[in-house]
Amino acid sequence: MVSGEAWVKKIEAIIKPFKLDEVKEALHEVGVSGITVTEAKGFGRQKGHTELYRGAEYVVDFLPKVKLEVVVDDSLAERVVEAIASAAQTGRIGDGKIFILPVEGAVRIRTGERDADAI
Amino acid sequence: MVSGEAWVKKIEAIIKPFKLDEVKEALHEVGVSGITVTEAKGFGRQKGHTELYRGAEYVVDFLPKVKLEVVVDDSLAERVVEAIASAAQTGRIGDGKIFILPVEGAVRIRTGERDADAI
Amino acid sequence: MVSGEAWVKKIEAIIKPFKLDEVKEALHEVGVSGITVTEAKGFGRQKGHTELYRGAEYVVDFLPKVKLEVVVDDSLAERVVEAIASAAQTGRIGDGKIFILPVEGAVRIRTGERDADAI
Amino acid sequence: MKTWIKLSRVVAAAAALLLTAPAASLAVAQEAAPASASAAATESVAASEAVSESATAEAAPAAAHILASQKELTAATLSNANTTYLIFCTAMVLMMTLPGLALFYGGMVRKKNIVATVTQSVAVTCIVAVVWWAISYSMAFGTAASPFLGIAADKVNLFMGGFDNLFLKAVTPATAYSAAPTIPEYTWISYQLTFAIITPALITGAFAERVKFSGLLLFMILWSILVYAPICHMVWGGGYLAQKGVLDFAGGAVVHCNSGVAGLVSALFLGRRKGYGTEAMAPNNVIFIMIGASLLFVGWIGFNAGSEWAGDTIASAALLNTMLCTCLAGVSWKVVEWVFRGKPSLVGILSGMVAGLVVITPACGFVNPMGAMICGLLAGPVCYISATWVKKLLGYDDSLDAFGIHGAGGFLGAVLTGFLADPAVNSLGHAGMDQVMKQLLGLGVTIVWSAIGTLIILVICKFTTGLRVSEADEEAGLDASQHDEVLDH
Amino acid sequence: MKTWIKLSRVVAAAAALLLTAPAASLAVAQEAAPASASAAATESVAASEAVSESATAEAAPAAAHILASQKELTAATLSNANTTYLIFCTAMVLMMTLPGLALFYGGMVRKKNIVATVTQSVAVTCIVAVVWWAISYSMAFGTAASPFLGIAADKVNLFMGGFDNLFLKAVTPATAYSAAPTIPEYTWISYQLTFAIITPALITGAFAERVKFSGLLLFMILWSILVYAPICHMVWGGGYLAQKGVLDFAGGAVVHCNSGVAGLVSALFLGRRKGYGTEAMAPNNVIFIMIGASLLFVGWIGFNAGSEWAGDTIASAALLNTMLCTCLAGVSWKVVEWVFRGKPSLVGILSGMVAGLVVITPACGFVNPMGAMICGLLAGPVCYISATWVKKLLGYDDSLDAFGIHGAGGFLGAVLTGFLADPAVNSLGHAGMDQVMKQLLGLGVTIVWSAIGTLIILVICKFTTGLRVSEADEEAGLDASQHDEVLDH
Amino acid sequence: MKTWIKLSRVVAAAAALLLTAPAASLAVAQEAAPASASAAATESVAASEAVSESATAEAAPAAAHILASQKELTAATLSNANTTYLIFCTAMVLMMTLPGLALFYGGMVRKKNIVATVTQSVAVTCIVAVVWWAISYSMAFGTAASPFLGIAADKVNLFMGGFDNLFLKAVTPATAYSAAPTIPEYTWISYQLTFAIITPALITGAFAERVKFSGLLLFMILWSILVYAPICHMVWGGGYLAQKGVLDFAGGAVVHCNSGVAGLVSALFLGRRKGYGTEAMAPNNVIFIMIGASLLFVGWIGFNAGSEWAGDTIASAALLNTMLCTCLAGVSWKVVEWVFRGKPSLVGILSGMVAGLVVITPACGFVNPMGAMICGLLAGPVCYISATWVKKLLGYDDSLDAFGIHGAGGFLGAVLTGFLADPAVNSLGHAGMDQVMKQLLGLGVTIVWSAIGTLIILVICKFTTGLRVSEADEEAGLDASQHDEVLDH
Ligand SMILES: Nc1ncnc2c1ncn2[C@@H]1O[C@H](COP(=O)(O)OP(=O)(O)O)[C@@H](O)[C@H]1O
Ligand SMILES: Nc1ncnc2c1ncn2[C@@H]1O[C@H](COP(=O)(O)OP(=O)(O)O)[C@@H](O)[C@H]1O
Ligand SMILES: Nc1ncnc2c1ncn2[C@@H]1O[C@H](COP(=O)(O)OP(=O)(O)O)[C@@H](O)[C@H]1O
């Protein structure tokens, strides 16, 4: 079953946490029915802050981000990317990134359905 | 070293949290020796709930899930998928998904071993 | 835009939490400008511990790990892998793994830049 | 078949409880003769009360246990010092439940049930206060003046205080309760309310992670009325057990044994949690457990030393005994655990401390510090065994050890009181086999009443509100399914 | 345009507040005649003070409300029992703010603001103590001896205590405050300080998640001096409202209505949080809310019963009333919520309990337990409506319901006191429409003074330190932007 | 080589400590003459004790410092008010350690060590209580009747109370301690126990994140006996420093300077944590720090005002002084931090408040409010400098600033007491250079005794149980390696 051919894509997006609701709405409109979200910390161009406790200095350059994973049919991928990109944008540094990865197979655990049917 | 050829697969599974122990056991039996687990929130067909605090309504449609990542040899992939699928199944909505992704290289940090030896 | 061709790689590393700062420094030196980090639990050769609460035994074989994700140009991938591998190494069991995955596209949300420009 | 297993467990439990009956009846028999003497003594005490009390009210308030009635309070009898004492003890015992017990229990369940578990302690507090005001204070500390269901008033008074004081209607700013004649009854009601709250709240530990919220509320209302109030009256309200000379300084039987047994019956009746024994059910937050246990410790000073209702020598003994027994029990549990488990755990030391607090509760105002150390030395190992080995052996799922610690510890403490009471500390105390038999009588009656009462109430709840959530709700967690409110968003 | 909306809201608020003015002026008019009589009475009381006090000081300390002055304290008049009482009440009320309120509010905001929210309670505590020492104690509890801005001393005294006691310079180990003549003034100052701390701290609930730290500090300093001290003096320092016979046992007007109104004005002035109504703003940690609310409950015993300044019968009534009203309000909010929301929530029960605590505050030392139950029955639904429907309707963003609960609850409690006061509990209490009018007068003056004072201070802050953080800072969270200190690393 | 560095550090520390010796010996010399006079005075006081005490027991309890002995307690001498007072103070000081200090320290370490850090406070509480009962109470507050190691009893009594009261065998319900003759000795023992608990518990801050649990337990047992008990006896048990007229109201030297110095020596002896200075070691939970600091503040009222052992005028002064100094120190630290760090932090304000609490501890019952404000103003900056710059400069790793705050603050407070004591507040107090010299004597003796005693104990532990965990265990965290119990599953 592991086809080797990637008709399905995984879109990973790192966004600002307070944009999650808007992005979810946008994805919903595009027709995405499933999303998985993880809390993450991001390090990038956006500057963090310095914490000082009783003389000890800690540079906190990891900022809170949210990581979204959406697996969709190839045909939908571009629209998903655009939906995320526009909903998550503030124009300020640190808005985040979207990555597209190939997926070779998918299974819906409840039913055992495979690949395109599974997502 | 980055071979470009994907003899190794990464199996990602989003499952219900209380199924983690069973899935771990199942994977152990199949011969998987390493698993990485992250807490996640899932949005899908399974309905969440609405929270109301002093008049303000919050739709909590992200439900707690656990994300498993297992990197295995191509030959083991199908068995791993099946082991997860059967151990994580409750038959109720929200059981989750399994995705198979290609991996182009692997390293064991401790020893520097590469690819198949590393996992 | 989704090229299908993977000129860009995603390096995933599972490391010991207290090595994060060192690895970050190492990546910085190699020229990596963005990293995403997630807290994870790892199961592997490294042994966990057993917790006993009032007679009930819980085998805690998932140990705290940190998962790093770095998306870089193909050309940089090998150096990134080496940087992580050497910075994260303690030589003791449980040091973790590095995986290389193909990426088919990337977007910087703030600007809409694509692929290599986006990372 | 499942029902069958459940039934058989309940039967087994009933059988186990009946085993205590012989001890109880034995004790009753033994007491038959002295009882009349004691009754006579009681009367003569009552007769000389007017005299003795003005002279020694402060010196021997525990004597008032046996003489339950409302008294007039005047500017002359009011003591600001004692009232101050009891007001603060009220605050401290309240703190034991909120946030103490709520956190102690909340930290021990899995994360998906923490909000629900905490809510149980909060809701029990609210609902019991209302019931106390409406009904149960009258039943616990009233004096029945008229027959009830054809039973003569003085017989009724053996088991409950009657219904003449519903809605506190007989209480005024100028009344005091006979046991604490220098303190306004308003404060007495408040202080006793905090005991009436924490006792049922302790039972929630046996229900945890699977009980339906509506069922829990109904259970608690009925239990407060049918189980707590009568047992409280029998021991502290001048009822049957008080007259028999049972010693229970701050609630070994009334509070701990009572709630522990109710917890055991409930745990057996509800059945185990889904996944019990196979799934990991480690505490979600041991820091919350620590905060909870610490506030229990601090507040318990108001519980134990407070049960003297005055800051005097007996209260001082209760204070020191409480601190010593608790700390030594923490050490003794730790040592046992270190030996058997390989490493000492925070939850272990804290469990030992709570065990010590429970064991010293009935004894604290009767024993001397050496007695307290003996209690502490035994508290750790005995409750360790009860909460680990016995629970495993019998296979019931008393999630947070309401029985394992409070039931067993309360029993142990009550028995030890009979062996260790030192008249130099408290003239009402007296050690010896006869006292031990009295203690067993008190425990037997408490256990039987509590077990039967709890069982009846459980059956009522099962067939009305329901008691256990559905499997899917249990899997999803009570937080989401019962309250639409989760800790992590 | 935004400014326009903001302005119009402020105007609307001002209008709403003025609606209360007629009631107030009406009450003032009604009081015009009896006022002189009352004043006369006051004088005669003052005259016979030397006699009456030694005889009845303990029996009727609340009378001292009207007689504000410094008294000599000697070994003969000092009461160790009462001093003990008030020292512990001080500790308990301190615990209400730290860690109580800090956690109650801290748990309710989003995670990115928890540190900042908690810091606000801590910083307010520190800064108010210094201001209290330097200025506001003198203004609240001093007695002006010289004219101020050309106003005669006795007129000044109607509104504030003057500046003769700045830096506590007139306080010695041998002075007592007339209201509590058996207790050293040092303890009185400490106890009252805890009230002066929690009142402004309550307002931070309306500021939450968007206020600039420096702006908050300036606001709090000015508010302590210009709003809290005068209102405190008017009601408790023997000022205008005390003389008018307004009943406010522990601070329905002084503390709750006052801070609630200030919160409303502040919320309107600051405008809503970014994302209000669209973004999810669920509490970050309901367990912290529970700990906070529980410690508020426990500490409130020191607040309410403590306001009798002695552990006597009235304190006992305040204790029991506080417990009953709080618990019933928890139940009544829960029931309303269960009906309208489908499920009861932990935050709901806790909110109900806090509402009950607020409502009983002015009444606790005047009503009987039945009165307390009436307060509790109403507290839940009324504050539920105010904190949910009214807030939604008016569209202001009072983040943590400083107004919704404290404003509305304080108002309700003060009015109910007028209806329910029972002279059998407290001879100073008296129920009836005339008393209700007095209560409305007290509320009217408090509301108007608080609203106008707060508005002036907000304007001052806006144009000096600034009041609201930048949009980017609000997005990033106050923890990072104001304190460089976040909960999760 | 590593050992070498370690050794050299220890030597450096010893040298540093010896620098204080001249001050001490200077003071000793200065005291040589007046000492005999003072001793004579002491005797005469002792002679007239029977008379004076019944008359002035309440008025001047601190005088009893010098007169250490057991007294008879009768119904006539017992004060319910004072006993009530001390029972609650006991509960409050207990709360300082559990859960206060446990959370304060637990929140400051990294997440992998939180359980272990908290366990340290809990375990110290348990173990010290047992040691107190068995040995150290006798050594601290007993009176040696027989020679020890050939030293005459009266000489022994200068440094410790002897072994006649092991296992509390001389304590009965009818005894009181001479310093608090109106309170049962049982309560006295309990109250003093809470001090004996928190002092070593404070030291765990210097051990944090690298100490072996078994080593810690052994250390604490020995330290309680060899360091705490003698120093406590010297200052509060009528020993050498009491006779020299050292003023230490609530424990500036006995508790804070003592534990701070022990912490410094321990930190130097153990060496730095792995990764110190390179790895991020930010506090895992500032909210826990806030709860801990707040409960320290609240409980400290029982610590400071409680050290008067009666709710009187001096206690009132101690109460107000504690609140003012604490709050101002919170402000003054914040200001310094705002200037040097750019933003004020929650941990900063809380550290300032704890610094203020420490500084006012020896002074609170001797100074007036203005004096307290001076203490507060200095507490912030001085402890800020000590906990940040000095620590950095000297390079030792006192993880949670046991020395930085308690050592420095205790020293500062003790010295300021000599400058600021106001006889109007407490007739035993007296300001001036002579008193300052006495204070330096007290500090010198405390520092030298504590440093040497601690060093000896550390060496013993190192070669028996071991003191520091292995590198791998330190990396994995103490929670997993010492207790098999982690916060996050
Ligand atoms: N090369 C990369 N690999 C993985 N994650 C990245 C990479 N670059 C950026 N990120 C993630 O995107 C977030 C935002 O990136 P940043 O450089 O701060 O701003 P911008 O998105 O505006 O370019 C980072 O915090 C990090 O989580
Ligand atoms: N297309 C998808 N991409 C990523 N994750 C998905 C996707 N669809 C579902 N998921 C994840 O799987 C979980 C279960 O999916 P759901 O639709 O609720 O039920 P079911 O698994 O029964 O189809 C979701 O909560 C989400 O975490
Ligand atoms: N096959 C795998 N797939 C995914 N993660 C793995 C795999 N093998 C190991 N890991 C991750 O790497 C961590 C370290 O592995 P482990 O076997 O304990 O030691 P080592 O890295 O020394 O071989 C594990 O805790 C797990 O998180």
Phi-psi region of B112 (alpha: psi -120 to 50; beta: other; left: phi over 0): left
User: Are D168 and E286 inside 8 Å of each other by CB?
Assistant: no
D319-353 pLDDT, tens per residue? 999 999 999 999 999 999 999 888 999 999 999 99
Q: Is D90 on the interface with E (CB under 8 A)?
A: yes
What is the SS3 assignment for C70?
A: strand
pLDDT band of residue F27 (cuts 50, 70, 90) is very low
The residue to which tokens 């002359």 are assigned: D76
Ligand 1 atom having least distance to the Cα of A93: 22
Helix axes E213-223, E185-207, angle to 10 degrees: 140
Which residues form the pocket of ligand 1, taking CB atoms under 6 Å from any ligand atom? A 14, 42-46, 63, 65, 93-97; C 34-36, 69-71, 108-110, 119
CA distance D7 to E75: 70
- Give the distance, in angstroms, between the CA of residue F246 and the centroid of all CA atoms in the same chain: 15
Query: What pLDDT does F1 receive?
Result: 39
Tens of pLDDT, residues F356-402: 999 999 999 999 999 999 999 999 999 999 998 888 888 889 888 99
Burial class of residue D152 in the structure, from the number of CB atoms within 10 Å of its CB (0-12 exposed, 13-18 middle, 19+ buried): exposed
Mutate to test the interface with C, among A16, A90, A97, A103 (most CBs of C within 10 A): A97
Q: Are F370 and E167 in contact (CB under 8 A)?
A: yes
Q: Does C104 touch chain A (CB under 8 A)?
A: yes
What tokens appear for F386 in the block?
């000590």
The confidence score (pLDDT) of residue E48 equals 36
More confident residue, F422 or E63: F422
Pure H helices in D224-305: 229-236, 240-243, 258-270, 286-304
Chain D (405-434) residues lying within 8 Å, Cβ to Cβ, of chain F: 424-425
Pocket of ligand 2 contains residue A34 by CB under 6 Å: yes
- Does residue D184 have a cis bond before it (omega within 30 degrees)? no
Query: Checking phi first, is residue A107 left (phi over 0); if not, alpha (psi -120 to 50) or beta?
Result: beta
* Pair F239, F158: CB distance under 8 Å: yes
* pLDDT higher than threshold 70 for residue E13: no
Q: Per-residue pLDDT tens for D201-211?
A: 999 999 999 99
Q: Is the pLDDT of residue A66 over 80?
A: yes
- The answer, yes or no, to whether residue D274 has pLDDT greater than 60, is yes
Kindly report the average pLDDT of chain B as a whole number: 89
Per residue in E79-131, pLDDT tens? Answer: 999 999 999 999 999 999 999 999 999 999 999 999 999 999 999 999 999 99
Instruction: Name the pLDDT band for C114 (thresholds 50, 70, 90).
Output: confident
Tell me what pLDDT residue D41 has. Answer: 37
pLDDT at position E17: 45
pLDDT for the residue numbered C14: 98
Q: Average pLDDT in the F22-35 region?
A: 41
DSSP string, F402-437: IIIIIIHHHHHHHHHHHHH--TTT-TT---SHHHHH
Task: Measure CB to CB from residue D279 to each of B21, B51, B64 and give the nearest one.
Answer: B21
The distance of A73 to chain E (nearest Cα, Å) reads 29
The pLDDT of residue C6:
55
Average pLDDT in the A76-85 region?
96
D444 phi, psi to nearest 5 deg: -60, -50
pLDDT band for position E392 (50/70/90)? confident
In a domain, F4, yes or no: no
Give the per-residue pLDDT at A5: 54
- Check if B92 has its Cβ closer than 6 Å to any atom of ligand 2: no
What percent of chain B is modeled with pLDDT above 90? 69
Between F247 and D43, where is the model more confident? F247
* Portion 222-251 of E in contact with F at CB < 8 A: none
F91 Cα: distance to centroid of ligand 3 (angstroms): 50
The verdict on residue D390 lying in a domain is yes
d(CA D383, CA D385): 5
Q: Given pLDDT bands bounded at 50, 70 and 90, which one contains residue A29?
A: very high
Q: Give pLDDT, residue F394.
A: 85
Mutate to test the pocket of ligand 2, among A7, A20, A27, A35 (most ligand atoms within 8 A of CB): A35
Q: How much is the pLDDT for B58? A: 81
Q: Which of F470, F478, F483, F484 to mutate to test the interface with C (most CBs of C within 10 A)?
A: F484
Structural domains counted in chain F:
1
Going by pLDDT thresholds of 50, 70 and 90, the confidence category of residue C50 is confident
The pair of structure tokens assigned to E382 is 């009324």
Ordered DSSP codes for B19-75: GHHHHHHHHHHHT---EEEEEEEEESSS--EEEEETTEEEEE--EEEEEEEEEEEHH
Higher pLDDT, E27 or F233: F233
Contacts for E270 with CB less than 8 Å, ≥ 6 apart: E206, E207, E210, E211, E458, E467, E468
Give the whole-number percent of chain F exceeding pLDDT 90.
77
pLDDT of res. E320: 98
Residue F9 lies in a domain: no
For residue B92, the ligand 2 atom closest to its alpha carbon is 22
Split at pLDDT 50, 70, 90, the class of B6 is low
The strand pairing partners of D151, in sequence order, are D148
Average pLDDT over every residue of C98-114: 94
Separation CA F311–CA E87 (nearest Å): 8
pLDDT over 70 percentage in chain A = 95
- C55-85 pLDDT, tens digit each: 777 888 889 999 999 999 999 999 999 999 9
- Write down the mean pLDDT value for chain D: 88
Residue D12 maps to a domain: no
Lowest-pLDDT range, D255-269, E322-336, E358-372, F265-279?
F265-279
| pLDDT for E14 | 45
Indicate if the pLDDT at residue E53 is higher than 50.
Answer: no
Q: Whose CA is nearest to atom 2 of ligand 3?
A: B34
d(CA D373, CA D387): 21
CATH number at residue E195: 1.10.3430.10
Chain E residues lying within 8 Å of F79, measured CB to CB:
80
**What 3-state DSSP class applies to B113?**
coil
- Residue D332 maps to a domain: yes
Q: F342: CA distance to ligand 1 center in Å?
A: 27
Asked if F327 and E129 come within 8 Å (Cβ–Cβ), the reply is yes
Task: Looking at E48-159, list the stretches that DSSP marks H as alpha helix, in order from N- to C-terminal side.
Answer: 49-56, 80-95, 102-106, 114-131, 137-141, 153-159
Binning pLDDT at 50, 70 and 90, where does residue F247 land? very high
Q: Residue B118's pLDDT is what?
A: 80
Please give the full DSSP string across F282-325, using - where no structure is assigned.
--S-HHHHHHHHHHHHHHHHHHHGGGGSSSSHHHHHHHHHHHHH
Over residues F157-207, the pLDDT tens digits come to: 999 999 999 999 999 999 999 999 999 999 999 999 999 999 999 999 999
Residue D475 touches partner B, C-beta closer than 8 Å: yes
Q: Which ligand is nearest to the CA of A15?
A: 1
Q: Pick the atom of ligand 3 nearest to B72's CA.
A: 1
- Helix, strand, coil percentages (3-state) for chain A, rounded to 5, are 30, 40, 30
Interface confidence, given as ipTM, is 0.91
Instruction: Indicate the SS3 state at residue A10.
Output: strand
Could you tell me what percentage of chain E is helix, strand and coil, using 3-state DSSP and rounding each to the nearest 5? 75, 0, 25
- Please indicate whether, in this complex, the C-beta atoms of C91 and B102 are within 8 angstroms of each other: no
- From the CA of B92, the nearest ligand is 2
Q: Is the CB of B71 under 6 A from ligand 3?
A: yes
* Mutate: best of C39, C41, C49, C53, partner D, most D CBs <10 A: C53
Q: Which two tokens stand for residue D193?
A: 């309310």
pLDDT at D14: 44
Name the neighbours of A, counting chains with at least 3 Cβ pairs within 8 A: B, C, E, F
Chain D hits for E305, CB-CB cut-off 8 Å, are 87
Residue E99, preceding peptide bond in cis (omega within 30° of 0): yes
pLDDT higher than 60, residue D10: no
Residue type, A68: L
C-beta separation of F183 from F80 below 8 A: no
Whether residue A21 and residue E489 make contact (CB cut-off 8 A), yes or no, is no
- So what's the pLDDT on residue F49? 34
CA-nearest residue to E275 within chain A is: A18
Tokens of F387: 């906990």
pLDDT of residue C23 exceeding 90: yes
Atom of ligand 2 nearest to the CA of A70: 3
Tokens 């992939």 found at: B77
Higher pLDDT, E174 or C59: E174
Ligand 1 mutation target, pool A19, A43, A84, most atoms within 8 A of CB: A43
Give the C-alpha separation, B1 to E396, whole Å: 61
Q: How many helices and strands (H and E) does chain C possess? A: 3, 7
Over the stretch E445-476, which tens digit does the pLDDT of each residue have?
Answer: 999 999 999 999 999 999 999 999 999 999 98
* Ligand with minimal distance to A73 CA: 2
With respect to residue E33, please indicate whether it lies within any of the assigned structural domains: no
* E387/B55 CB distance under 8 A: yes
The stretch B94-108 carries a mean pLDDT of 95
**Closest residue, chain B, to E278 (C-alpha):** B58
- pLDDT value of position E340: 87
The pLDDT, as a whole number, for residue E61 is 38
Does the beta carbon of B46 lie under 8 angstroms from any beta carbon of chain A? no
DSSP lists the bridge partners of residue E184 as E176
B77 lies within 8 A of chain C by CB: no
Atom of ligand 3 nearest to the CA of B69: 4
Kindly give, in sequence order, each residue whose CB lies less than 8 Å from that of residue D238, ignoring residues fewer than 6 positions away: D65, D66, D67, D68, D69, D143, D157
pLDDT at D342: 87
Of C12, C14, C60, C62, the one to substitute when testing ligand 3's pocket (max ligand atoms within 8 A of C-beta) is C14
Q: How confident is the model at residue A6 (pLDDT cuts 50, 70, 90)?
A: low
pTM of the model: 0.91
Q: What residues of chain D lie within 8 A of the CB of F487, using their CB? A: 285-287
Nearest to C33 among A44, A100, A101 (CB): A44
E182 is a domain residue: yes
Q: What are phi and psi of F40, to 5 degrees?
A: -60, -45
Helix and strand counts by DSSP (H, E) for chain E: 21, 2
Strand, coil or helix: B10: strand
Q: Could you list the residue range(s) of the whole structural domain that residue E155 is in?
A: 68-483
Amino acid identity, residue B28? H
Which is nearest to B14 in space by CA: B47, B43, B55? B43
* Cα-to-centroid distance, E448 and ligand 3 (Å): 67
Least confident of A5-14, A51-60, D124-133, E252-261: A51-60
pLDDT of residue F45: 35
Cα–Cα distance list, E396 to D449, E359, E387, E389, E399 (Å): 56, 23, 11, 11, 9
Please report the pLDDT score of residue A3 as a whole number.
45
Confidence of residue D403 (pLDDT cuts 50, 70, 90): very high
Whether F43 is in a domain gets the answer no
What does the pLDDT average to over F117-139? 98
Q: What is the pLDDT of residue C59?
A: 82
d(CA F23, CA F13): 17
The Cα C62–Cα E466 span in angstroms is 49
Amino acid identity, position A55? G
Model confidence at F209: pLDDT above 50 = yes
Burial pattern E392-423, b for ≥16 Cβ within 10 A else e, equals eebebbbbbbbbbbbbbbbbbbbbbbbbbbbe
Q: Does C97 touch chain B (CB under 8 A)?
A: yes
Other beta carbons within 10 Å of E134 = 15
A interface with F, Cβ–Cβ below 8 Å = 51-56, 58-60
Percent of chain D with pLDDT over 70: 86
Nearest to F278 by CA among D78, C78, A58, A24: A58
Paired sense of beta strands B97-103 and A105-108, if any:
antiparallel
Across the interface, of F275, F480, F485, the residue whose CB is closest to C18 is: F275
Compute the distance from residue A114 Cα to the ligand 2 centre, in Å: 13
**Number of D–E residue contacts, CB under 8 Å:** 172
Split at pLDDT 50, 70, 90, the class of D411 is very high
Q: Which residues pair with F176 in a beta bridge?
A: F71, F184
Selected for mutation to probe chain F from E77, E120, E122 (highest F CB count within 10 Å) is E122
